Amino acid sequence: MKLMNNKLLTQMRAATRNLIKKPQIDTNKVIQDALKNASAMTQAAQAQMQGLSQANGMAHLRTPSDVPDMLAELSRTFGGGAAAANEPAEALPGTFSEGSFTNAAGTRSYKLYVPSSYTDTADKPASLVVMLHGCTQDPDDFALGTQMNALAEETGCLVVYPAQSRQANSSRCWNWFNDVDQKRDQGEPSIIAGITREIMNKYRIDPAQVYVAGLSAGGAMATIMGTLYPDLYAAVGVHSGLPFASAKDLPSALAAMQGQLQRQRADGKRPPRAIPIIVFHGDQDHTVHPTNGDELMVHARDAAAGMAVEPGQVPDGHAFTRTMHKRADGKVHGEHWVIHGAGHAWSGGSARGSYTDGKGPDASREMMRFFSTHR
């Protein structure tokens, strides 16, 4: 067993060295090779190592004596749980159709919900919300969990769900930690912006009412989109996510998730202006540390003329603290919802989707309310 652990540790170290130097698929191959040699390990260790494979090598290796802790740490993912199993789509009167977008950076599919009230000849154009799922999720799962399509039916907005591909990330995580994916008109930001513009061109959308939101890795990517494209998105919603440029590679991404953030405000990556933002984070989130929620509010707080703090309690649910950062004219520019006792899950979501916490508050409805006040 000791020989097996030493051999496995050597292979895991090789995977870590390759995290930056080689394409992701090479690292995955090293991990998979290690898994093939793990037949003598206990079932628990095998399960943990399988978690590592799913997590795309999010490793932080230490010494041979730390192998049990190492295995547990390597099993963590950005998403923090298992996806819901093949749930049917919601029975709503609108249409939920699939599309695809391709540019020089690659191809991504997406699903689009168009409410039954939408017409090309309506007096007022519709708003658009771009929803970025978390790791291991897909558009159907994310739509079920957030119940955003039902809200779209209520409000008349369109909702598009870009889908991360397994080719780009085997756990379907948006690659928010890659340098190329933190630049305007490059990498995944260019694809998500391209999907947004494609929907705007195909439907009658008010260009002043386009918003982006996401969960976990999707929340981190939503922050990137709002930062890089302030001309495209009027406001951003982030649930259990991370700040812009908080990591530069996989090892620093794991550190950021644990609350050890990269402070890159002095290297030209500071956002040019404070974007309107609403943030939700559970104070018992052990996948993405709540410090990230605090950091997401820094620019809104710096730009604010005043602040208001409101405690609250969902009946038979979670208590929360809502902090609002207001401009000189009294308009709320940033909202930070700390959900007491909540973990890494979409607040107020449906159990039909993965990574949800039905004890509230209703993050989807509050995001839609916040978005409606920003153009």
Q: Give me the residue label for tokens 């916490």.
A: 357
Q: Which own/partner pairs from 259-264 qualify as long-range (CB within 8 Å, at least 24 positions apart)?
A: 259/289, 259/290, 259/291, 259/292, 261/291, 261/292, 261/295
Q: Report percent pLDDT > 90 for the chain.
A: 67
Distance CA 223, CA 215 (A): 11
For the chain, the structural domain boundaries read 2-74, 95-372
Backbone torsions φ then ψ of 123, nearest 5 degrees: -60, -40
Residues 314-333 pLDDT 10s: 999 999 999 999 999 889 99
Q: pLDDT digit string (tens) for 208-244?
A: 999 999 999 999 999 999 999 999 999 999 999 999 9
261-272 core/surface letters (b: 16 or more CB in 10 A; e: else): bbebeeeeeebe
Residue 170 pLDDT > 50, yes or no?
yes
Q: Which CATH superfamily is domain 95-372 in?
A: Alpha/Beta hydrolase fold, catalytic domain (3.40.50.1820)
Backbone angles phi, psi at 95, to 5 degrees: -110, 140
**Average pLDDT of the chain, as a whole number:** 81
Number of H helices, E strands in the chain: 12, 12
Q: Which residue has the higher pLDDT, 122 or 68?
A: 122
Rounded Cα distance, 190 and 198, in Å: 12
- Could you tell me the two tokens for 226? 């709002």
